[in-house]
Amino acid sequence: MNKTLSEIEFETRTIGPLVLTTPFLRRLGLRETINRLCPVAEQADFDYGLVAELVVQCRLTDPRALYDMPGWAAQYEIAALYPDVDEANQLNDDRVGRLLDALYERRAMLWGEVIARAARAYAIDLSRLHADTMPIKFVGLFADQPVDDTVPRLEPGYNPQGEWVQQLKLFALAAGDGRLPVWFDALSGGTGDSPTYVPQFEAFCQHAQLATLLPLKEVIVIGDRKMPTVDNQLAWLRLGVSYIGPTTMQDSHRQALRMLLDEGQSWTALPYIAGRETDKDKDDRTVYRGVGHTVALTDADTGVAYPVRHLYVSSSALAQHEAQRRQAEMSAIEAEIQRMQGLVNKYDYKSPEIIVRRVQEKAFKKRAARHYFDIQVVEHAERPAAPYALQYTIDHECVESDAALDGVYLLVAGGPAAHWDDASLLQESKGQYKVEHCFRLTNQLFLCGPVFLKNSQRIVSLILLIMVGCLVAGLIERQIRRALAERHEPIHGLMPEGRDTLKPTVARILRAFADGCDRPSSEALCRERQPHFLKRVDWFDELAIRIQPLGFLLDAIRHEVVPIPIEVDAAHGQHRLSTLDPPAHARALHPVFNEMATCPLDDPGSDRIARGEILIVTHAMGIVFEIPAEFGELFPFFAPQRALGTHLPKPCDD
C-alpha cells in the first residue's frame, strides 16, 4: 500500500559534503590502489586504503579533522557510512601514522595511478600542463633530519617573502582542463627551481603513463620565468614536447628587438581580452601588441638546430604600471638626495665616503631607478667650515631608452608550438592564471596533530593525501560546471544576493549542500532550492530528495594565534592557516600553500613540531538526508545509498 511522505518515518544524519566526495573517491579507486601497493597485515582491523580515504574525507569536510579524527568520525557518522568502521575511536593517531609511513615509498606510483585513472574516467585533457615551484616553510629543530639523499630535507633559506626559514620545496603540475593537480613532489628546501622542471615532468610521464593517454608532441608545458632556461629548452626539444613561458629580458634581447624595429617590423595588435576586462569599454581595455621572430637553438651535443619562437609582447597596462613605478622611484630618490644636500657638513656627513654611503643606504636602497642617477661629492677648499657639496645628475637619455620598452616582455616557445601564430602563443601563456583558482579554496584554518609532522616522510605523505583532496574538489567543480554549461541553465540563488551562476566554485557548491542558499530564507525556500540544485548534478540527475535545511549552521573556527588546550597531558599541535601574505609566484601554483603557525601542547616530541605552509581543502557545512525507514520506500534513494555504502540505522530523537 502506498503511503504519503508525511506518514514515513525518517532518520536524520549529518554527512556534509560526503555525498559528493565519496562517489569521486570510489571512481578514482584510491582505496583499492593503496591496498594493492601497500598491503596491510591480515590481523589489522583497517586496511591502509580505508584510512587514507577517511583522511581525505575529513580534510574535505572539517578544518579540525586532522586534529581530532575520532571526533570528526562521530560527527559525520562514519561508522554508519563505512561498514568496516565499528566505532569512531578506531581512527586513532597510531593508524594514521602507520599509513603515512607506508605511503611514503609508494607515493609516486600511487599518485601516478590515481591521475591516470582520473584522466580516463573523467576525460581530462592533459595537453596543457602548468608548472611551478614554491617553498613550504617550517619552524622547529627537526633533530631527526634524514641523511638519505632520497628523502627531502628541511633546509634553511630565504622564502619569496625574504624570510630566513626552514623549508621544503614543492614542485607541482596542474592541468589547464579544470585546473586539476596532476603531479607533485616535495624536494629538499635548498633545491634550485629551474633544474626541477624536466626531471619532474619525466617522472610524471613515467608514473602516469602519459604516452598511453596522448602523444607527447601534443603536450605543452607552460611555466613562469624560472622554466625556460637554455638547458630546459633543449631538454623539452629533445623530448619533442612544446613549451611556452616568459623569460627575463637581457640586453641581447633588447638589442634584438631594436634591430627588428629598425629593420622595418612593426608592432602587431594581438587580439586578447582578459576575462576581468570583458565588461569594460574598448578604450579602457589593455592593448597587447607583438613583434616576433624565429631563432635557432643549437644542441651542442648533437649539433641539431631547433627553431624557437621569440615573441616580444607589449602590454599597455604593464607599460603604465612600469612608468608610474619608475617615476615614483625617481621622485623618491631625488627628494632624499635633496634632503641630504642640506645635511652635508653637519652631523656625521663630514667625509665623502660617509656621504656616498648614506646616499646609497637612504636614497638608492634597492630601487631599480638608482642607475639613472650619478652622484658626486665636490670639495670647496675656499670654504673650510663647509667644504663639501653633494651634486647629482640624471641620465635622461637612459630613462627615455628604457621608457620605450615599458611593458615589453619576452615569450619563448619551442617544439610544435614554435610554428604557432603570435596570437595563439599569447593566448596560451595567459591561461597560466587559471590554475590559481583551483587552490585558492585551500587557504583555511585547520588543526593538525603532531603525528603528521614527526618527520619529513610523514609530511610528504600528508601532502599526498591533501593533493588527492584537492583533486577531488577540482573534479567536483569541473563536472558541475560542465553539466550546467551543457544545459545552459544556471544554478539559481547560489551566489550572494541571490544571483544565478553558471560557474559555481567548490566552496559555493559545498555550502549549497549545507543550507541551500547564501542568504537567510524560509524553510520552504531552502527545501525548494536544494533539490533544484541536486537535479543539476549529473550523478543525481533523476533524483529528488527531501532535505532538512540546517539554516546557517557553520562549524567554523576563528583564527587562533596561541594553542588551545584540548586534553590535559595529551600531545596536541595547533596549526593556523591564513592568507597573511600575497602569492609570491604570481601565476601557476603558488596559492597551493599558505602560512600556518604551529606550537606544541605538552608534547614530548615538541622539537619536531613544525610550522609550514600547507594546503588544506575547503570544508563544507553539514548536509542532512532524511532516509525512509521502510524498505518499500528505499527505491528513490537507492543511488545515494550505493554511493555512501550501507543503509543508515535509525537515530535516537535529538
Measured CA distances, 506 to 371, 573, 578 (Å)? 48, 28, 19
Q: Lowest-pLDDT range, 67-81, 317-331, 415-429, 466-480?
A: 67-81
Calculate mean pLDDT across residues 8-19: 72
Give me the pLDDT at residue 577, please: 31
Helix (H) or strand (E) holding 291: strand 288-298
31 touches 47 (CB < 8 A):
yes
Cα separation, 43 vs 41, in Å, equals 6
Hey, how many other C-beta atoms are within 10 angstroms of the C-beta on 556? Answer: 9
Whether pLDDT at 445 is above 60: no
Round to whole Å and give the CA distance between 642 and 543.
Answer: 13
Structural domain spans, the chain:
9-90+440-644, 109-315+407-438, 320-403
Read off the C-alpha cell for 523: 524553510
Residue 249, C-alpha cell as written in the block:
629580458
What pLDDT score was predicted for residue 437?
61
Place of cell 568520525: 73
H/E element, 511 = helix 506-515
Identify the helix (H) or strand (E) that includes residue 414: strand 408-414
Region 575-597 average pLDDT: 32
Give per-residue pLDDT as tens, 266-305: 999 999 998 888 889 998 999 999 999 999 999 999 999 9
CA 149 to mean position of chain CA atoms = 27
CA distance 636 to 320: 61
Distance from C-alpha of 311 to C-alpha of 290, rounded to nearest angstrom:
7
How confident is the model at residue 9, as a pLDDT?
67
Q: What is the rounded CA–CA span in Å between residue 482 and residue 179?
A: 13
Topology of domain 109-315+407-438 in CATH is Transposase Inhibitor Protein From Tn5; Chain A, domain 1 (3.90.350)
Distance in angstroms (rounded) separating the CA atoms of residues 336 and 464: 51
Q: Give the per-residue pLDDT at 64.
A: 57
Q: Contact, 22 vs 625, CB < 8 A? A: no
Mean pLDDT computed over 53-64: 80
119/601: higher pLDDT: 119
User: Residues near 635 by Cβ (< 8 Å), separated by ≥ 6?
Assistant: none
Query: pLDDT digits over 128-185, tens only?
Result: 999 888 777 766 555 566 677 788 888 887 766 777 777 888 888 999 998 899 998 9
What global pTM score does this model have? 0.74
Q: Cell numbers of 30, please?
A: 584510491
What cell does 58 get? 575529513
In 65-137, which ranges are continuous DSSP H helix? 69-75, 78-81, 93-104, 107-121
* pLDDT digit string, tens, across residues 238-277: 999 999 999 989 999 999 999 999 999 999 999 999 888 8
Identify the pLDDT of residue 281. 92
Give the mean pLDDT of 610-619.
Answer: 33
Higher pLDDT, 372 or 458: 372
pLDDT of 331 reads 96
409, β-bridge pairs: 313
The three grid cell numbers given for residue 580, joined into one nine-digit string: 597573511
> Quick check: 596 and 577 in contact, CB under 8 A?
yes
Residue of higher predicted confidence among 599 and 62: 62
Kindly tell me if the per-residue pLDDT of 323 is higher than 90.
Answer: yes
pLDDT in tens, 518-542: 333 333 333 444 444 444 433 333 3
> Given this model, what pLDDT does residue 470 score?
87
Residue 96: closest CA among 135, 129, 57, 132: 57
Rounded Cα gap, residues 302 and 563, in angstroms: 60
The mean pLDDT value of the chain amounts to 76
- Tell me the three cell numbers of residue 182: 596532476
State the Cα–Cα distance between residues 55 and 411, nearest whole angstrom. Answer: 42
- pLDDT of 167 reads 82
Average pLDDT over residues 316-327: 95
pLDDT in tens, 468-501: 988 998 999 999 999 999 988 888 888 888 888 8
Q: Which has more confidence, 551 or 510?
A: 510
3-state secondary structure of 392: strand
Question: What whole-number distance in Å separates Cα of residue 50 and Cα of residue 396?
Answer: 69
Residue 74 pLDDT = 83
* Sequential DSSP letters for 297-332: EE-TTT-PEEEEEEEEEEEHHHHHHHHHHHHHHHHH
Mean pLDDT of 314-341: 95
Asked whether the predicted pLDDT for residue 368 surpasses 50, the reply is yes
Query: Which three three-digit cell numbers place residue 101?
Result: 609511513
